[in-house]
Amino acid sequence: MIPPDFIPLLLQRIDIVDVVGAHVNLKKSGASLKGLCPFHGEKTPSFHVTPSRQTYHCFGCGAHGDALRFMMDHQGLGFIDAVQELARRAGLEVPNDTRSPEQRAQSEQAKLKRASLSELLAQAAAHYRQQLRQTPRAVEYLRQRGLTGQIAARFGLGYAPEGWRALSRCFPKYDDPDLENAGLVIQGEAQGERDKRYDRFRDRIMFPIRNVGGEVIGFGGRVLDRGEPKYLNSPETPVYSKGTELYGLYEARTAIRQRGLALVVEGYMDVVALAQHGIAHAVATLGTACTTEQVGKLFRFTEHIVFSFDGDTAGRKAASRALQSALPHLSERRIARFLFLPTEHDPDSYVREHGAEAFESLIETAKPLSQHLLDVAGEGCRLDTPEGRARLIAQARPLLALLPAGLLQRQLVGEVAHLARVHDTEVMANAAADSPAPRPGQGDVDDPRPRRPRAPAPWRPRGTLRAPTPEDQLLRLLLVNAAWWERLTPDQHDKLLQRDTAHARVLGWLDRTVADHGPLAWAALRPLLSADEHALANLEELPHLTMAALDAQAQLESPASDLDVLIERLGRTGFFQPAALPPVAQD
């Protein structure tokens, strides 16, 4: 039996565009892709694949489903065979549900727990909405902020009343532990307060946080008058992770697709105020810096993101963190830009004072990511001096390393090289080669001539080891150049993955990571690899693929032709040939 939790994991690890695109010629059409339906004859394309929802739909015959349904209906596979085929493509092993009855019961209990918390949060959201209607002071506050009842209803705004246990009117069983697990109630921890329970949110305008499916998973609360903190957010819970969710994405998803871009702002009120003025494609981070996971989620809805920040020092620091989160996801097709408002404004105040048209004009003139990267890298650098140009290169390297290998990275390396007055290859050269010259007293005292700093010796394996095999070299190249994994054919992927070897298991990890995060540069891929115990364990079986060896490989900037040479060498050995059939026994 296949564990029930495996199917959602499998569908997260694959892209329906790749699955369907292997059988249907798909072309970009707005937020989706379209082609001729494979389930009925037609001359005009009516078959649409939507990456953001990971589904397909034919407006001609009504065929609809996900990647698993497509494999079953189009390929004629049974459920088990379709799961196994998709798992093979994703580099996953289909597990048998060998859990004990107790473990199955625990898993089911955890699922029921999440459903229970979601239900409690939905009840709380309804309670807060009712309290808003009954509290003129809160309604007047929203009116003063320029918000109408329609926009408040669209975002489900509410009000948490004053009082320590106001939620007890909504939840008669106020001692229910799940109220605390949902982040609605706080249990006193201090001595003498262990029996004290009280509402987390009191006298605050409430902003429900919804996931993409529209379920309430948490809240943000803003004080009406003076008080600290101005914003209070739900804690991390089994249904809410602030580093992966975005406020307003559920409400903005349609507008993002229609407009073709997502606007990222810093506050809940910014999102609601912009929507009030007709700018409905804005979302907000949840009290933290913009994360790589949040950027990746947005790029499933659009290929164009504009980050809007206040023009003060804090806003520019937040923009730098957003830059680092966006870089690993960028490609020649994806665009990111940065908008800095005047220091006296945030999006809420700006749109109320100047109007939607003025704010839209700011969006149109937002700074390209390339220019923002050069500004960040060049901070504090005097480019009319060698020291300033060297500092520019040192500050640009870690940012450039976050970009996937490709045309965009090469363009930006060229821009930095031009500003620093060096050749392109110098920009990403081994930083260790830039170590200072020997201090006086070092080296040969009989030779007073200045010495050039020596580059570190290339990495070599210690001890007596066999020479690296073509498989070792291939894996080393693919790990530090993850984008090259997509250069291989499906047949080559199959041969490399369908083996019970450490090489194949590490490549399976790489395949899943590329599917989840895109073709990351080595600087971004390395921490993910270091954090995966199973991948590291397999890597330890390969003495030529230590982290030091991979770091050294990353500094070599190998051309893609090296990959072609290795594939050709493996092909000559018969590696990619079908396995021979066993001989037929003779009677």
Helix 522-531 / helix 502-517 crossing angle, nearest 10 deg: 120
- Is domain 378-433 classified as CATH 3.40.190? no
Low-confidence ranges of the chain (pLDDT < 50): 431-465, 579-587
pLDDT value, residue 517 = 67
pLDDT value, residue 447 = 39
pLDDT value, residue 448 = 39
Tokens 């923009």 belong to: 319
pLDDT value, residue 488 = 81
The fold of the 6-90 domain, in CATH, is DNA Primase; Chain A (3.90.580)
Which of these CATH numbers, 3.30.470.10, 3.40.50.300, 3.40.1360.10, 1.10.1040.10, describes 249-375? 3.40.1360.10
Q: Is the pTM of this model over 0.75?
A: no
pLDDT value, residue 260 = 86
Strand ordering across the sheet containing 335-340: 282-284, 262-265, 304-309, 335-340, 367-368
pLDDT value, residue 76 = 65
pLDDT value, residue 50 = 87
Question: What is the CATH code for 101-233?
Answer: 3.90.980.10
Tens-place pLDDT, residues 530-580: 888 888 888 888 888 888 778 777 766 667 777 877 887 787 777 766 544
pLDDT value, residue 456 = 40
Q: Which residues of 550-580 are buried (b: 16+ CB within 10 A; e: fewer)?
A: bebbbbeebeeeebeebbeebeeeebeeeee
- CB-CB contact of 280 with 268 (8 Å): no
> What are phi and psi for residue 386, nearest 5 degrees?
-60, -35
Domain regions of the chain by residue span = 6-90, 101-233, 249-375, 378-433, 470-572
